[in-house]
Amino acid sequence: ISPLPDNPGQFTGIAASPGIAIAPVVHYQLAPVSITEYHIENVEIEWQRLQHAIQRAKQEITMLLSHASVQIGDAEAAIFDAHLLFLADPVMLDSVRRYIIEDRLNAEAAWQAVVEEVTNSYRQLEDAYLKERVDDVVDVGRRVLRILLGNLPTELHILEPSIVVGTDLTPSDTARLDPRKVLGICMTAGSATSHSAIIARTLGIPAVVGVDSQVLTVENGAVIALDGEGGRVWIEPEGSVLTALENKRQVWQTNQAEARKKAHQPATTRDGQRIHVFANIGSVADAKAAVGYGAEGVGLLRTEFLYLEQIKPPTEEEQLQVYQDIAQTLGELPLIIRTLDVGGDKQIPYLGSTLQETNPFLGVRGIRFCLEHPYLLKTQLRAILRASAKHHIKVMWPMISTLTELRAAKSILNQSMAELKKDGMEFDAKLPVGVMIETPAAVAIADHLAKEVDFFSIGTNDLSQYVMACDRTNPKVANLTDALQPAVLRMIQQTVEAGHAANIWVGLCGEIAAETAVAPILIGLGIDELSTNPQAIAPLKQVISQLTTTESQVLARVALNQDSASRVRELVYPIG
């Protein structure tokens, strides 16, 4: 491609998310939050006001986290776990309480004072990662202030495809963007490693940040162009610039199309080992994208999206329609539906327990929640069974830790089958059943579980957290929740061995499946199927086609004997 020409209205910024965008400008600006500081008489009422606002903020963030889990994946959505962690920080809450009780400050002023203290302390740190968290603290701080002031949430309403221009985008606002309407992001602040940039890359929205503030003077509707890979922005670009950008976009789209063509071929190693590559999805639209990207089926349908933005659970008929729509989109390809997986970091307020859990990750989540609410599970299973009548559908239980849980879930499935049979409704009487391997307990009894199911799917996000005994929402220990920890790799190996001994296949649907460089280790451990986000399918298949199982097994054995995740990473990401 010929170099992009200079242009009088050109700015250089920081490349934050690759891709080319050419579209009219829509300005985005955070609504100013104006607070008044005043002396209070009743400190207890003021403290309660703040407590209520924080609780409301937690509910909003929890809903946003659930949405983000579906839209951008669990790993990126964990960004919002940190927001919840901040709201529960006892040191921060004690500081606010002192301002209210000792200085008799109103809640808004006390909260703002502490948020400013925290952000200033972060900015003075040498640790680049913690410096980047300033945006998250500001985001959470504004949310609580808005609630205290009685303001409605600000929504970015974009009707036509546009490029969003502004000072900065909060992680919360970025997660809600629609890639079909927001073609690009141009901000005067930010960095390539900020949470907003990470989310933009996950959504596939080109972004340039750190652009000169003059860009803020561009009128709404004016056409601008940006190159998210080169970090450049053009205002009302000249014909030569547009031509060069269009050429670059065409080359990129051609390369993508070529990759997608190859992605529709089976993923087979050089020595003939077939590895099935499936997609993780959370909507009908995702299913269409998955087929386009070459998925051989859906390895994980997150059904939580059906329960979001509702005031009551979806009915059997509503669920049936969605499952049928997704299955029809897939045609003859298999669809693995995970039953409702809430709790932990995925809360749906109207389904919530009245009991506040001290540690929700170790509480009533996944299959535990559904077994406590069997009517919810039975409604979902009836819909899945009815959809299975004419489609290639499998069901999968999340968060299994005991044989008792598995058998209880299967009992409700059998009850649902009996009811449908009595009502004369069609379904697949041999519906394949699998379990998510996400807990050390499930690995330890994998040989017993394997005798009662048709397949395993390893969820490395949670498995890593539980094996390493650390909260992935805590920045101080988050580095331990790496699926390449030798302890986690040994758990994967043990699960595969138990599954294969019982003649069932073993898949993996954690975020690590998207890291193409890690594929040799996973294949060397004996994984039969990898399920990942649709965009990662083409490069993953390409890598698989270049491997041999023998070489992969050698690498896996070496990885299992390393002393840390960083050492394992050095094997697949060699320095220099």
**Active site (catalytic) residues:** 195, 509
Q: Are 208 and 232 in contact (CB under 8 A)?
A: yes
Q: How far is CA 277 from CA 66, 257, 291, 514, 574, in A?
A: 25, 18, 11, 11, 25
C-alpha 380 chain-centroid distance: 23
- Dist CA 524 CA 104 (whole Å): 63
Do strands 10-12 and 232-235 pair parallel, antiparallel, or not at all (unpaired)? antiparallel
Q: Are 207 and 228 in contact (CB under 8 A)?
A: yes
- Dist CA 30 CA 208 (whole Å): 18
Place of tokens 């209520």: 52
Q: Could you tell me which of 470, 571, 575, 472 has the C-alpha nearest to residue 515?
A: 571
- Dist CA 122 CA 388 (whole Å): 53
- Dist CA 522 CA 380 (whole Å): 32
- Which helix (H) or strand (E) is 523 found in, with range? helix 519-524
- Dist CA 125 CA 322 (whole Å): 48
- Other Cβ atoms less than 10 A from the Cβ of 261: the count is 11
What contacts 408, CB < 8 A, 6 or more positions away? Answer: 371
- Six-digit token pair at 69? 């889990």
Q: How far is CA 318 from CA 61, 284, 302, 315, 526, in A?
A: 26, 13, 16, 5, 38
- Dist CA 136 CA 82 (whole Å): 8
Rounded to the nearest 5 degrees, what angle is found at the Cα of 203, between the Cα atoms of 477 and 437? 50
- Other Cβ atoms less than 10 A from the Cβ of 242: the count is 15
Mind giving me the DSSP string for 160-206?
Answer: S-EEEEES---HHHHHT--TTTEEEEEESS--TTSHHHHHHHHHT--
- Six-digit token pair at 319? 């669920």
φ, ψ of residue 183 in degrees (nearest 5): -85, -20
- Six-digit token pair at 369? 């929640």
